[in-house]
Amino acid sequence: MHTYTDVSAVMSRALAELCLERLAMHAPLDRSLTPDELSAAAGLTVTEKGIGTEEALRLWEHVLAPACLSVDHPRYLSFIPGAPTKAAAAFDMLVGASSVYGGTWLEGSGAVYAENQALRWIADLVGLPEGAGGVFVQGGTIGNLSALVSAREAARHKRLGPPPARWSVLVSDETHSSVKHSLQVVMDVGVVKVPGDERGRLTGAGIRARLAELPESEIDGIFAVVGTAGTTNAGVIDDLAGIAEVARERDLWFHIDGAYGGAGLAAPSVRPLFAGVEHADSFIVDPHKWLFAPYDCCALVYRDPVLARAAHTQKAGYLDPVTVEGEWNPSDFSVQLTRRARGLPFWFSLAVHGTAAYSEAVEQTLRVARAGQELIEAAEHVRLLVERDLSVLIFERIGWQAADYALWTARMLAAGVAFVTPTSHAGRPCTRFAIVNPETTVNDLALIIDSMK
């Protein structure tokens, strides 16, 4: 299996050809199949003797791949899509073939150097100081968890008295579910919810009002506050400047979840909406969302990486050769040790195209989102529910119930037209567009809106 032979050469060329075809094609939207449908079409694929290269490739190309939705399709507008550049996707093939270990400087110094160049660009967008740095991790869930573990460890170190009855973190109703799950289930930390304003934003004033309601014993254990730079459901940016002010007053760690919306920092037209982001102690953004990298890739950046290293560096005799002072080991900055160099495709695309091209691509999606909002406001059968900040449009079809949205979604997907899922806002069923693909057009949005008549 490990020797490169004529058979493996044929297999490699066939796989490379499939990759090239996928890069070149306008991929169909495709659709999901049920377990029974896949069982009937694919059958048993893992056997004692193996099914061979030709059959395995046939199954993937004609059965399994078409059962995976094309997240980079211009009319895939559900959840938060992805739209990797051709450069990033192509380089991901090379990363996979290269067996690069990205956990330590000793084993992957070239890869780590390149990733850190990309992280520096993100840190500069945020406005963090020269010493800022971090790591590319699997996704926003791991990024948020790692940042909050660092925050708690920093709070423990600077606390002079006994530990509080319970550590806790300030969040809002719109804070991503992964943050709340990480705090309550993984870290066993309390969650203090702060009501949002009329747009669902966490604000400095809202935090002050909530703290005024709490007993001192509960306030004593609060060590961090989480702001969101672009909520997943509505794309709204919290009052980052107001939150930062409270965090400074209370000596709280200020973490910003910009998994989706943080990419907007690259767009001059919306950069003022992020005022206050420069005060973050930690920040995440997922390049696999709106910065055109392949799955999976989250950039986690710390204002002071020393605090993160203190929380995450693992100690073991066999690790002594890699824990060298002055070297940058990515595994020192998150909860993971073994690590793929997942930031490399993003770095390669940035290096190839330049950051100006990235800014323009984000601006293009924002132009489409603005035009989409105008379409919704001009149509009589739909209504915008939240004023747009970034590239998410959340709206309702007047008169529809949840079942109507579900039927419409299924019909559009079955026809291969679009994938737009139902959601809810303030208890009302509705739907939304998440526009992160520069190839999505205003005509695409018009087609979908007209289908709701």
pLDDT at residue 311, as a whole number: 94
- Each residue of 406-419: pLDDT tens digit? 999 999 999 999 99
Burial pattern 211-234, b for ≥16 Cβ within 10 A else e, equals beeeeeebebbbbbbbbbbbbbbb
Residue 366 shares a structural domain with residue 309: no
Query: Is 29 inside a domain boundary?
Result: no
What average pLDDT does this structure show over 152-179?
94
Domain boundaries, position 437: 356-450
Quick check: 248 pLDDT over 60? yes
Query: Is 50 inside a domain boundary?
Result: no
- Each residue of 55-99: pLDDT tens digit? 999 999 999 999 999 999 999 999 999 999 999 999 999 999 999
Quick one: tokens of 384? 């915008």
Residues 6+ apart with CB under 8 A from 138: 296, 298, 336, 342
pLDDT at residue 325, as a whole number: 60
Query: Is 38 inside a domain boundary?
Result: no
Count of other CB atoms within 10 angstroms of residue 16: 12
Query: Is 64 inside a domain boundary?
Result: no
- Each residue of 269-310: pLDDT tens digit? 999 999 999 999 999 999 999 999 999 999 999 999 999 999
Residue 203 shares a structural domain with residue 345: yes
Quick check: 43 pLDDT over 50? yes
pLDDT at residue 316, as a whole number: 53
Task: CATH number of the domain at 139, please.
Answer: 3.40.640.10
Quick check: 213 pLDDT over 50? yes
pLDDT at residue 448, as a whole number: 98
Among candidate residues 353, 375, 405, the one where a domain is terminated = 353
Residue 409 shares a structural domain with residue 326: no
- Each residue of 308-319: pLDDT tens digit? 999 999 865 434
Query: Is 55 inside a domain boundary?
Result: no
Residue 148 shares a structural domain with residue 109: yes
Lookup result for tokens 């890069």: 23
Query: Is 44 inside a domain boundary?
Result: no
Residue 121 shares a structural domain with residue 179: yes
Residue 349 shares a structural domain with residue 362: no
Among candidate residues 331, 353, 375, the one where a domain is terminated = 353
pLDDT at residue 317, as a whole number: 44
Residue 186 shares a structural domain with residue 271: yes
Write the secondary structure of the chain as one string of H (helix), E (strand) and C (coil): CCCCCHHHHHHHHHHHHHHHHHHHCCCCCCCCCCHHHHHHHHCCCCCCCCCHHHHHHHHHHHHHHHHCCCCCCCCECCCCCCCCCHHHHHHHHHHHHHCCECCCHHHHHHHHHHHHHHHHHHHHHHCCCCCCEEEEECCHHHHHHHHHHHHHHHHHHHCCCCCCCCCEEEEECCCCHHHHHHHHHHCCCEEEEECCCCCCCCCHHHHHHHHHHCCHHHHCCEEEEEEEECCCCCCCECCHHHHHHHHHHHCCEEEEECCCHHHHHHCCCCHHHHCCHHHCCEEEECHHHHCCCCCCCEEEEECCHHHHHHHHCCCCHHHCCCCCCCCCCHHHHCCCCCCECCCHHHHHHHHHHCHHHHHHHHHHHHHHHHHHHHHHHHCCCEEECCCCCCCEEEEEECCCCHHHHHHHHHHHHHCCCCECCEEEECCEEEEEEECCCCCCCHHHHHHHHHCCC
- Each residue of 330-352: pLDDT tens digit? 999 999 889 999 999 999 999 99
Domain count, the chain: 2
pTM of the model: 0.95
Query: Is 53 inside a domain boundary?
Result: no
Residue 242 shares a structural domain with residue 365: no
pLDDT band at 321 (very low <50, low <70, confident <90, very high): low
Residue 369 shares a structural domain with residue 393: yes
Among candidate residues 318, 353, 388, the one where a domain is terminated = 353
pLDDT band at 160 (very low <50, low <70, confident <90, very high): confident
Residue 299 shares a structural domain with residue 375: no
Residue 410 shares a structural domain with residue 313: no
Residue 365 shares a structural domain with residue 216: no
Q: Pick the residue with more confidence: 453 or 316?
A: 453
Whole-number mean pLDDT of the chain? 95
pLDDT band at 357 (very low <50, low <70, confident <90, very high): very high
Task: CATH number of the domain at 370, please.
Answer: 3.90.1150.10
Query: Is 69 inside a domain boundary?
Result: no
